[in-house]
Chains A and B, each alone.
Chain A
Amino acid sequence: MAAARLSGLAVVAAVAACEHDEIALRALLDAVKDPELPVISIEELGVLREVQVDGDSVTVTITPTYSGCPAMATIEADIRAVLAAAGVAQLRVETVLNPPWTTDWMSAAAREKLRAYGIAPPVGRADADGGCALFAGAAPLVPCPRCRSSDTRRLSEFGSTACKAQYQCRACLEPFDYFKCL
């Protein structure tokens, strides 16, 4: 899928193939999305950590959102497809765990894309000590991504994927996913 999107970027691809320029390669990798969040790129999500060019060989470093994120294999396959189509012959995709991924790496623009897609973006910043509290505090106040009402309630701290919680809006009654802070 990611490779198919590439055709529109043929010019960039041609440049990248000749020079393996890091900026051009990053532009190409913008086509690679998290399959569970198809509106934001792996760079916007913070999964893409580094693109290193050394002569003909390219090393792309990624980090998982959650340890068991099943999307990592697809993301790696998509990276390989996009860069192979751009003429990168020697590619290494490395996975690192440190520093641990955090929602704080998501830009305001990426958060707005999530909201427009129907997923409430993380509210505030991941609190370094937030996880240390033994007893759960009040659920964060999460505005409804559809009607923007703040009159919402948490149904469960776990949702359709590891990174989401389930909420429901009391104003428009729609259930929705919340991308929880981590």
Chain B
Amino acid sequence: MSRDDTRQALAEYALRLGDNSLILGQRLSEWCSHAPQLEEDVALINIALDLVGQARALLSYAGELEGRGRGEDELAFLRDVREWRNLLLVEQPNGDFARTIARQLLFDCYAFELYRALSDSTDSQLAAIAAKSLKEVSYHRRHSVEWTLRLGDGTDESHRRMQAAIDDLWPYTGELFEADAVDAALIAAGIAPDPAELRAAWQASVSQVLARATLAQPESMGLLSGGRSGLHSEHLGHLLAEMQWLQRAYPGLQW
């Protein structure tokens, strides 16, 4: 594989990571002023802010590697739904609070393992972004773990809702560990970890949390995937409509 091919694979990889962070950050920001309590409103928006910050670094890097003159803003606001590369999990609606927490738990445990591995990437910029993000993701994961314990091992109603949320979102977790040609190229170059190798650590964390929260782990890994090739659930288009409308209505508008 030529250096240019590796560079383009890395651009695509940075785009996928950036899209995960931005879409999840946008989703979480929908809780602003609607969270069950003030402290939680502040917590969710702080996490959203970290994710959007990570997305800015990743999308800027993706644009630079791609070399087509697109910056973070063009990538965030001017791509249509089929051009997005995020995992299906992160675009799933907030639902009730339990569903949001379940989504965050499944993602945070994954992001923690991913960024820990990427901190040792042979690509220095990706390693720097990952090392920075890892510190933040540690906080995020503690937040979702604490809430999973409280809701799972709480009242009958909170337990029921938390279990339903885990069951509903579980089919989206298989996609986290899929690898395609982009991954293969970067694994070979020592730039990215093999997603399959992250799975055991993710599974161990999630199983431990679910057990302590008195929640049952769903039986099978689901088969829903497609986000990284632009095949999304119907929810992403609606999210983009809200996130992008200003730039679509007034192209090039600045503060």
- Provide the residues of chain A in CB contact with B143, threshold 8 Å: 157-158
Pair A131/B138 contact, Cβ less than 8 Å? yes
Pair B39/A156 contact, Cβ less than 8 Å? yes
Pair A67/B50 contact, Cβ less than 8 Å? yes
Q: Does B155 contact A (CB under 8 A)?
A: no
Instruction: Pick from B51, B142, B145, B212 the residue with the most CB of A within 10 Å.
Output: B142
Pick the contact of A98 from B128, B149, B205 — CB < 8 Å? B128
A70 shortest CB reach to chain B, Å: 7
Residue of A whose beta carbon sits closest to that of B54: A67
- Provide the residues of chain A in CB contact with B43, threshold 8 Å: 156-158
Residue of B whose beta carbon sits closest to that of A163: B46
Contact with B along A82-125 (1 / 0, CB 8 A): 00000000000000111111000000000000000000000000
Stretch at the interface among B1-9, B129-137, B172-180: B129-137
Complex Cα spacing A100 to B149, Å: 31
B254 shortest CB reach to chain A, Å: 13
Q: Does A166 contact B (CB under 8 A)?
A: yes
Residue of B whose beta carbon sits closest to that of A166: B39
Pair B142/A157 contact, Cβ less than 8 Å? yes
Q: What interface size band does chain A fall in?
A: 20 to 34
Pair A98/B39 contact, Cβ less than 8 Å? no
- Provide the residues of chain B in CB contact with A70, threshold 8 Å: 49
Pair A67/B128 contact, Cβ less than 8 Å? no
Q: Does A68 contact B (CB under 8 A)?
A: yes
Q: Does B139 contact A (CB under 8 A)?
A: yes
Interface residues of A in 156-182 (CB under 8 A from B): 156-160, 162, 166, 182
Chain A, interface SS category: loop
Instruction: Pick from B46, B53, B57, B146 the residue with the most CB of A within 10 Å.
Output: B46
A169 shortest CB reach to chain B, Å: 17
Pair B205/A158 contact, Cβ less than 8 Å? no
Known: A156-B42, A160-B42. Contact between A68 and B135, CB under 8 A?
no
Pick the contact of B49 from A68, A97, A132, A155 — CB < 8 Å? A68
A136 shortest CB reach to chain B, Å: 5
Known: A66-B50, A98-B124, A134-B208. Contact between A158 and B131, CB under 8 A?
no
Pair B42/A68 contact, Cβ less than 8 Å? no
Pair A67/B133 contact, Cβ less than 8 Å? yes
Q: Does B111 contact A (CB under 8 A)?
A: no
Q: Does A64 contact B (CB under 8 A)?
A: yes
- Provide the residues of chain A in CB contact with B187, threshold 8 Å: none
B107 shortest CB reach to chain A, Å: 15
A50 shortest CB reach to chain B, Å: 15
- Provide the residues of chain B in CB contact with A156, threshold 8 Å: 39-40, 42-43
Interface residues of B in 126-183 (CB under 8 A from A): 127-129, 131-136, 138-139, 141-143, 145-146, 149
| Further 11 A-B residue pairs, CB within 8 A, beyond A100-B135, A131-B138 | A64-B53, A67-B132, A68-B49, A96-B128, A97-B128, A98-B128, A100-B132, A135-B142, A156-B43, A157-B139, A162-B50
Question: What are 23 pairs between A and B in contact, CB < 8 Å?
Answer: A66-B53, A67-B53, A67-B136, A68-B50, A68-B51, A68-B52, A97-B57, A97-B128, A97-B132, A98-B132, A100-B135, A101-B132, A131-B138, A134-B208, A136-B142, A155-B39, A156-B42, A158-B39, A158-B42, A158-B43, A158-B47, A159-B42, A182-B135
